[in-house]
Each structure stands twice: as C-alpha cells, then as structure tokens.
C-alpha cells in the first residue's frame, strides 16, 4: 500500500510539476495534416481537431486539473474547519443552530451544491473552485465538529478551562492540533473527489474555459468524437481515474500510518490490579489524621451549628465553602439529581477526602465546584465560594485568572489530562504566559523548576517530551506540577492514583503531600479507596446517592456511625484478616439516580433499616462529626 501510494502520488504530482515544461510545446503545436486522427504509434491517444497530440495535452492539463482540485479542497477545509470549530466551542444555542445548518448542508448531494454555487460565483475556473470549496465545506465542518466534541471532553481541555484559558486559545492550542491528522487524511481523500467533481464541472462547461483546458474539458471535447476517435476521451478519462485513485490511495496510506501511530501512542503498560496495601487501617492510626502542615482541628469551624460550619465563609478562614450544592441532569428518563444538597467547608491547608462507591456523585461534586460541568448538566448552590470568589456567577477576566492560578485540578487519567500534541514543559509554561504575563523563556525555565519540585527525574529532558513518552506516574506528576505553576490554594484531585499501579500510586500521593506542605494548599481528594484517603486526609466525607451521609475525622473511621461507612471500612481487608475468612461486602448496588428510593437511599441495603427510614434522615452534626442516619452505630469496630 505504501509503495503503491508513493508511486502513484509521485507520478501524478511529478506530471503536474513537469508536464507543461516538457510537453507544453507539443501540446500546443497544430498539425493540419493530421486532424482528428485515431490512436497511432506517433500519437498514442490520437490528435484533436487542430491536430494537437492528445497525450501531450493530457500530461500538460495535469497541472491545472490537480491545482484547481487542491485549491477547492483547501477552501473547503479552511471554511469547514472554521465553522465546525466555532460550532464546537460556542454556547449552546449557537452550537445547536450551526449543527442544524451543517446537517442540512451535508444532506444535499455535493455536486448539486457545487452546481448551485457555480451559478452564484459565475462560470470559469475561479467560480468553479469557489463553488466546489463551498460545497465541500459542510462535510469538513461536520467532521471537525464531531472530532472536536471528542477532544473538548478530554480532561486537558477541562484543565485549560479551569485555568481560565480563553476559548480561542483553547481552540488553537488544544483542539485544532489534535484534529490535524484525521483532517489531513480526509483532506487527501476529498482532493480525489474534488478532482472528479471539477472534471464534472468543466465537462458541463462551468469550469475551465477555452483556450485553457483541463481533463474535464478534454473529456467533453473527446466525447464529441467518440465514434470516430474513442481514444480522445480515453486519455483524459484515464488521467482522472489514475489521479483520483492516487489521492485515495495516499489518503488510505495516511490513515493507516496515523492509525498505527495512534495505536503506538496509546499503548500503555498493562495495569496491575493494586493489592490492598498492608494494614490499611493501621495507616489511619499512624497518620493520625493530620497532614504534615495541617492543624488537626482546622477543618471544624468552632461555631458549627447544624450543618457543617454553617457560619463560616472565607471571612472565617475557609478557602472553600459550599452550601446546598445541587447537580441536575436532564435525561430521557426525566431530570436526575446525582448531587443533592452537598455542604462542604475546607480550611486553608486542610485535606478532605470524599469517599463513596461508583456513582455516588463524587466527581460531579468536584466538577461542579470547579465550574467544569458541561451542558446539559445544571449546577445550583446556596453558596459556592472559593478564595473570595463567588463561583455561582459569571466571572470577569481577572477573576477567571485568579481561579485558574489558585485552583488546581488533577484528574484520574493522566493520559487524557495532558494535550497529546504539546510537550510537557510547554503545557506548564502556558500557565505562566497565560496568567502571569511571563514571557516564554522564563516561563519555560519555571516549568522545568516545577517539574523538579514534583521529583521528576531528568526534568529538563522530560519537559521536552510529549505525554505519550512519559509513564503514567510521570504524567500525573506533570499534572501536579502544572497546578504548582500558579499559586494553588486548593488542589482538587479526582481519583488521581486509580489508573496507577500501587508503587507509583504511593509516590504520587507523596508528591501531593509534599506539594501541600510546600504551598499550604488545601486538598479535596476524591477516591473510592479508603487506604488512599486515610493515608493523606484529615477529614472524610462519605457520599451516598448524591448526599454526604457522614463527615468525620479520618482517625475516627473505625468508629464511624453510619452503617454505610461501617460497611465500607469492613469491606477493606488488612494484613491481619485471616485468609480463610470470607471478605465482607455490601449487599446490593448503589441506587440509580434515575430511580432513587423514597426515604433513606441506603435503607434497601442496610441491616439496621426499619420503618423510620422511610423518611430520609438529615445530616446531623455532633461536634466535629456529622451523620445522616436514624440508627447510627455506636459501638467501636
Ligand atoms: N452527563 C451525565 N449524564 C447523565 N448522568 C450522568 C452524567 N454524569 C454523571 N452522571 C451520573 O451521575 C451519577 C454520579 O456520577 P459521578 O461521576 O459523580 O459518580 P462518582 O461517584 O464520581 O463515580 P465514579 O467513581 O464511578 O466516577 C452517576 O450515576 C452517573 O451515571
């Protein structure tokens, strides 16, 4: 395939370049002694009405035919990519409108559209090129929109949005470079179609006009003498077919090459299922519930009444204060509420873990706090204050910059958290150039410095590498280092170690701890793994069915009051667990947000449930702990 594509491409392009130089004269020489001659040794495709050699004219016409097809494709690509990109990055209404318009345009047969535009732009090569370009644009717009949708949902685009990077810059730096390969592949194939379409327009008399000639016009002239000299039409017809095939072959080859490379890029080492670290709950005791620089009591506001520290806000020393956070999503089954009234306070430097089974609403809570939810997800809150900013309202440019530099997000999948087409160091440097107005050189030097700070070996070299050249643990460090480029007051880490094996997991957790110690940033660590949360955090919020059901210091996990927290803790085996003992598990499954039971959502799985649980219990605070249960467990585990 590669050899055939290269040969065909070289043949077609070579002819286009040298054709007029070598055969130009022969193509223009009239020979009135041999008019309209059939194929012969001297003229393999015969001669035309003026006795000119048809083969020479076919070879000369290659330049115009291919040049016009390429020009039309370029116009179609530029226009289409522009419209598709705007559609993918714009607000909901404009996006829907553009998607609808693109859909309508795509539904028309391309040649019909081209004929329509040819009438508008006028007869002649310029009009035909514009007509074809406009006719090709909807296809490229649809392709761009579809491809961009998959890129804009990637974590690195979310991270850039969290940094407050403007839409245009996100488009130029993060989205378009990732669309380049599939667009080029499609462009190559489309150029083959454009060649055929252009020949069609010229054949119909709408394209190239005499005395200029391309294959379409030659085909039209040849067909006039099809009964006396069939080879006159055969020459240009063969040229169109061979060139069309060459473009398609090149496109196929490019697609295979790109596909192969993408597969190599995506090749990640097989993940081992992390064994449960020894003495998980021992770690809870050892950690004593405090991070290196954290005041153990910092998370509990002294005036906390009902509900967690109800009177505290940033004026009272919290870096993050959330009240009644609600996330609603319209679905085919109606509106679901995966997050139902979460309250949360984080003191500066405090580390709070959010625990819960899959689907309990942990990630949506984090995304809603960071304002990173997408349409159609709706977020409401009674209060959503971070570092003096009211995140419920639209932020101005300066506020966005502050949010970008003081809130750092670390996502689960380190591969999708980084732009695959940008070098690691450049991605870090962008934070400084974007927000601190630093020029590129110093920003790049700071990036290397921060990579060193997260203990990335050979930081200088790593900064020059693309994400796929780094291991999972390295990529996660790069993400953490990216947060360090600003002045983080809060790090939100959503399952930051789930995709890593257990030794790398430990290293990344250490880096997060060291980062907190160095910057004094608070940490909101989302995980379904008790050992991770208990090794790092001061306090734990346990979520179930979109609500916080228990809030307790990490050291009190073994004395948890909520039967769900108890069940989670008991489900973790330790080194002391006898091998022959059956591991404890929680019966049943977490409820589907689309079909929440009335009353306590944990009741169907709870051994302590009775009729009282038909009413959903509120979160009731006792000192530094809060629990939402009618029958809390009192005894020690
Ligand atoms: N865009 C969406 N549309 C519909 N439902 C959604 C959407 N995003 C999340 N959900 C649903 O909301 C619920 C909570 O999701 P979320 O990702 O917050 O859970 P989680 O606790 O973080 O789980 P996991 O650990 O698996 O990520 C899940 O049931 C999920 O299916």
In the chain, pLDDT over 70 holds for what percent of residues? Answer: 87
**Nearest residue by C-alpha to atom 31 in ligand 1:** 359
What are the φ/ψ torsions at residue 238 (nearest 5 degrees)?
-60, -40
Look over the chain and give the mean of its residue pLDDT values, rounded to a whole number. Answer: 80
Burial of 227 by CB count in 10 Å (0-12 exposed, 13-18 middle, 19+ buried)? exposed
| Protein residue whose Cα sits closest to atom 7 of ligand 1 | 329
User: Is residue 276 predicted with pLDDT exceeding 90?
Assistant: no
Q: Which residues contact 132 (CB under 8 A, 6 or more apart)?
A: 69, 72, 75, 76, 114, 117, 194, 197, 198, 201
| pLDDT at 269 (0 to 100) | 32
Which pLDDT band, with edges at 50, 70 and 90, does 283 fall under? very low
Task: Note the pLDDT of residue 506.
Answer: 82
CB 406 within 8 A of CB 358: no
CB of 359 shorter than 6 A to ligand 1: yes
The larger pLDDT score, comparing residue 150 to residue 354, is at 354
The reported pLDDT for the residue numbered 256 is 67
Q: Is the CB of 377 under 6 A from ligand 1?
A: yes
Residue 170 alpha carbon to ligand 1 centre in Å: 25
Could you give the CA distance from residue 506 to residue 259 in angstroms, rounded to a whole number?
A: 34
How far is Cα 199 from Cα 246, in angstroms, rounded to an integer? 16
Q: What is the pLDDT of residue 578?
A: 64
Please state the rounded mean pLDDT for residues 289-307: 32
Question: Does ligand 1 come within 6 angstroms of the Cβ of 360?
Answer: yes
Mean pLDDT of 612-633: 92
Ligand 1 centroid–CA 363 distance in Å is 7
Across 72-76, 227-231, 448-452, 627-631, least confident range: 227-231
Ligand 1 pocket, 591 CB below 6 A?
Answer: no
**pLDDT band, very low/low/confident/very high, at 577 (cuts 50, 70, 90):** low
Best residue for ligand 1 mutational test, from 364, 549, 589 (most atoms within 8 Å of Cβ): 364
Q: Residue 41 pLDDT more than 90? A: no
Separation of alpha carbons 406 and 370, rounded Å: 11
Pocket test for ligand 1, best of 155, 335, 338, 596 (most atoms within 8 A of CB): 338
Model confidence at 327, pLDDT cuts 50, 70, 90, reads very high
What is the Cα–Cα distance from 373 to 385, expressed in whole angstroms?
17
Which pLDDT value is given to residue 522? 93
Ligand 1 neighbour 593 (Cβ under 6 A): yes
Mean pLDDT of 584-601: 85
For the CA of 331, the nearest atom of ligand 1 = 4
Q: Which residue has the tokens 């690195």?
A: 156
Could you tell me which residues come within 8 angstroms of residue 347 by beta carbon, excluding any fewer than 6 positions away?
295, 298, 299, 317, 318, 319, 522
pLDDT at 475: 87
Q: Which residues contact 435 (CB under 8 A, 6 or more apart)?
A: 163, 164, 401, 404, 405, 486
Query: Does the pLDDT of residue 298 top 70, yes or no?
Result: no
pLDDT at 309 (0 to 100): 36
Q: Does the pLDDT value for residue 281 go beyond 50?
A: no
Q: Dihedral through CA 545, CA 549, CA 553, CA 554, nearest 10?
A: -40
Q: From the CA of 327, give the closest atom in ligand 1.
A: 12
CB 165 within 8 A of CB 403: no
Return the pLDDT at 302: 32
Q: Which of 327, 293, 128, 281 is nearest to 216 (CA)?
A: 128
Cβ atoms 90, 80 nearer than 8 A: no
| Mutation to probe ligand 1, out of 158, 375, 544, 593 (largest number of atoms < 8 A from CB) | 593
C-alpha 384 to ligand 1 mean position (Å): 20
Report the range out of 62-66, 86-90, 506-510, 580-584 with the highest average pLDDT: 62-66
Q: How far is CA 598 from CA 307, 337, 593, 594, 602, in A?
A: 22, 14, 12, 12, 10
pLDDT band at 385; cut points 50, 70, 90: very high
Cα 17 to Cα 11, 64, 66, 195, distances in angstroms:
10, 10, 10, 16
**Average pLDDT for 514-518:** 84
Helix H or strand E encompassing 548: strand 547-553
What is the per-residue pLDDT across 438-483, written as a single tens digit (0 to 9) for each?
888 899 998 998 888 888 888 899 999 988 888 888 888 888 888 7
According to DSSP, residue 314 is labeled G
Report CA(389)–ligand 1 centroid distance (Å).
Answer: 26
Is 266 a residue whose pLDDT tops 60? no
The pTM for the full model equals: 0.61
Reported as a single tens digit per residue, the pLDDT across 174-213 is 888 878 777 887 888 888 888 888 888 888 888 888 888 8
Q: How confident is the model at residue 329 (pLDDT cuts 50, 70, 90)?
A: very high
Structural domains in the chain plus CATH codes:
1-259 (1.10.3720.10), 560-575+582-636 (no CATH)
Q: Which range has the worst mean pLDDT, 65-74, 110-119, 236-245, 267-276?
A: 267-276
CA of 593 to the centre of ligand 1 (A): 9
Query: Is the CB of residue 556 less than 8 Å from the CB of residue 533?
Result: no
Give pLDDT tens digits for 552-563.
Answer: 999 999 889 999
Tell me how far apart the alpha carbons of residues 110 and 114 are, in angstroms, rounded to a whole number.
6
Measure 592 CA to ligand 1 centroid, in angstroms.
10
Name which residue leads in pLDDT, 151 or 329. 329
Nearest CA, atom 9, ligand 1: 364
Residue nearest to atom 19 of ligand 1 (CA): 359
Whether 329 lines ligand 1, by a CB cut-off of 6 Å, is yes
How far apart are alpha carbons 413 and 58 in whole angstroms? 55
pLDDT score recorded for residue 344: 92
pLDDT at residue 258 in the model: 59
Pocket test for ligand 1, best of 363, 370, 527, 564 (most atoms within 8 A of CB): 363
In 385-439, which residue ranges form alpha helices assigned H by DSSP? 397-406, 424-435
Residue 365 has pLDDT above 90, yes or no: yes
- Using the mean position of ligand 1's atoms as its centre, give its distance from the Cα of residue 359 in Å: 5
Quote the longest CA-to-CA distance of the chain. 114
Q: pLDDT category, 275, cuts 50, 70, 90?
A: very low
- Nearest-atom index, ligand 1, CA of 593: 29
Q: Cis peptide before 412, with omega less than 30 degrees from 0?
A: no
User: Does residue 227 surpass a pLDDT of 50?
Assistant: yes
Least confident piece of the model among 92-101, 162-171, 219-228: 162-171
- The least confident of 60-64, 87-91, 457-461, 517-521 is 87-91
Atom 13 of ligand 1 has which residue's CA nearest to it?
359
What is residue 289's predicted lDDT score, i.e. its pLDDT? 33
Residues 558/526, Cβ–Cβ less than 8 Å: no
Cβ distance 365 to 319 under 8 Å?
A: no
Select the more confidently predicted residue: 637 or 387: 387
The pLDDT tens digits of the residues spanning 97-130 come to: 888 888 888 887 777 777 888 788 887 888 888 8
Tell which one of 356, 358, 543 to mutate to probe ligand 1, the residue whose CB is within 8 A of the most ligand atoms: 358
User: According to the per-residue pLDDT averaged within each range, which of 295-299, 397-401, 448-452 is highest?
Assistant: 448-452
Of the given ranges (290-294, 429-433, 537-541), which has the lowest mean pLDDT?
Answer: 290-294
Nearest CA to ligand 1 atom 12: 338
Please list, residue by residue across 478-510, b when 16 or more beta carbons sit within 10 angstroms of its beta carbon and e when fewer do. bbbbbbbbbbbbbbbbbbbbbbbbeebbbbbbe
- Tell how far CA 112 is from the center of its chain: 35
Residue 382 pLDDT:
92
Most confident of 111-120, 266-275, 310-319: 111-120
For atom 1 of ligand 1, the residue with the nearest CA is 377
Ligand 1 in contact with 528 (CB < 6 A)? yes
User: What is the spatial distance between Cα 425 and Cα 474, in angstroms, rounded to a whole number?
Assistant: 12
Residue 414 CA to ligand 1 center (angstroms) comes to: 19
Could you tell me the distance, in angstroms and rounded to a whole number, from the CA of residue 408 to the centre of ligand 1? 21
- Give the pLDDT of residue 613: 93
Q: What is the pLDDT of residue 274?
A: 30
Q: Looking at residue 305, what is its pLDDT?
A: 35
- What distance in Å separates the CA atoms of residue 234 and residue 316, rounded to the nearest whole number? 86
């Amino acid at each position: 395939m590669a050899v055939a594509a290269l040969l065909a491409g070289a043949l077609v392009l070579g002819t286009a370049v040298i054709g007029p130089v070598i055969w130009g004269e022969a193509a223009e020489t009239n020979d009135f002694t041999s008019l309209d001659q059939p194929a012969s040794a001297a003229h393999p495709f015969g001669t035309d009405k003026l006795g000119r050699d048809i083969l020479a004219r076919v070879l000369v016409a290659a330049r115009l035919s291919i040049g016009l097809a390429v020009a039309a494709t370029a116009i179609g690509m530029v226009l289409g990519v522009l419209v598709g990109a705007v559609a993918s990055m714009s607000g909901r209404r404009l996006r829907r409108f553009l998607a609808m318009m693109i859909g309508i345009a795509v539904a028309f047969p391309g040649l019909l559209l081209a004929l329509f535009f040819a009438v508008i732009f006028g007869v002649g090569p310029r009009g035909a090129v514009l007509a074809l370009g406009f006719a090709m644009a909807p296809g490229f717009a649809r392709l761009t929109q579809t491809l961009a949708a998959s890129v804009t949902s990637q974590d690195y685009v979310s991270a850039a949005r969290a940094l407050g990077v403007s839409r245009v810059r996100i488009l130029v730096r993060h989205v378009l470079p990732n669309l380049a390969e599939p667009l080029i592949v499609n462009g190559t194939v489309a150029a083959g179609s454009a060649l055929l379409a252009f020949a069609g327009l010229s054949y119909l008399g709408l394209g190239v006009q005499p005395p200029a000639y391309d294959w379409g016009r030659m085909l039209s002239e040849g067909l006039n003498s099809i009964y006396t000299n069939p080879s006159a039409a055969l020459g240009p017809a063969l040229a169109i077919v061979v060139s069309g095939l060459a473009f398609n072959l090149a496109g196929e080859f490019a697609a295979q090459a790109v596909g192969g490379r993408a597969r190599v890029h995506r090749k990640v080492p097989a993940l081992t299922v992390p064994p449960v670290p020894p003495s998980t709950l021992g770690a809870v005791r050892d950690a004593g519930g405090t991070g290196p620089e954290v005041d153990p009591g910092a998370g509990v506001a002294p005036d906390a009444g009902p509900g967690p520290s109800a009177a505290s806000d940033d004026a009272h020393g919290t870096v993050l204060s959330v009240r009644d956070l609600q996330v609603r999503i319209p679905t085919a089954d109606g509106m679901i509420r995966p997050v139902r009234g979460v309250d949360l306070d984080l003191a500066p430097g405090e580390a709070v873990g959010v625990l819960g089974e899959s689907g309990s609403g942990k990630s949506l809570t984090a995304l809603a706090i960071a304002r990173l939810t997408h349409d159609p997800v709706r977020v409401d809150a009674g209060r959503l204050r971070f570092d003096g900013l009211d995140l419920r309202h639209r932020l101005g440019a300066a506020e966005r910059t502050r949010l970008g530099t003081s809130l750092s997000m670390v996502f689960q999948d380190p591969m999708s958290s980084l732009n695959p087409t940008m070098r690691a160091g450049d991605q870090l440097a962008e934070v400084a150039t974007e927000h601190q107005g630093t020029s590129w050189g110093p920003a790049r030097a700071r990036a290397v410095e921060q990579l060193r700070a997260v203990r990335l070996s050979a930081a200088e070299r790593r900064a020059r590498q693309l994400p796929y050249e780094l291991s999972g643990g390295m990529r996660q460090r790069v993400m953490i280092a990216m947060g360090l480029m600003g002045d983080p007051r809060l790090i939100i880490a959503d399952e930051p170690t789930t995709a890593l094996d257990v030794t790398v997991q430990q290293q990344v957790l250490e880096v997060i701890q060291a980062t907190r110690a160095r910057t004094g940033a608070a940490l909101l660590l989302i995980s379904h793994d008790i050992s991770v949360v208990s090794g790092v955090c001061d306090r734990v919020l346990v979520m179930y069915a979109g609500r916080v059901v228990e809030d307790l210091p990490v050291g009190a996990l073994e004395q948890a009051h909520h039967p769900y927290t108890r069940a989670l803790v008991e489900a973790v085996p330790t080194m002391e667990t006898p091998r022959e003992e059956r591991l404890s598990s929680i019966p049943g499954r977490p409820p589907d947000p689309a079909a929440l039971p009335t009353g306590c959502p944990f009741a169907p799985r709870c051994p302590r449930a009775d009729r009282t649980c038909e009413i959903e219990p509120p979160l009731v605070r006792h000192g530094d702990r809060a629990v939402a249960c009618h029958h809390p467990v009192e005894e020690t585990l």
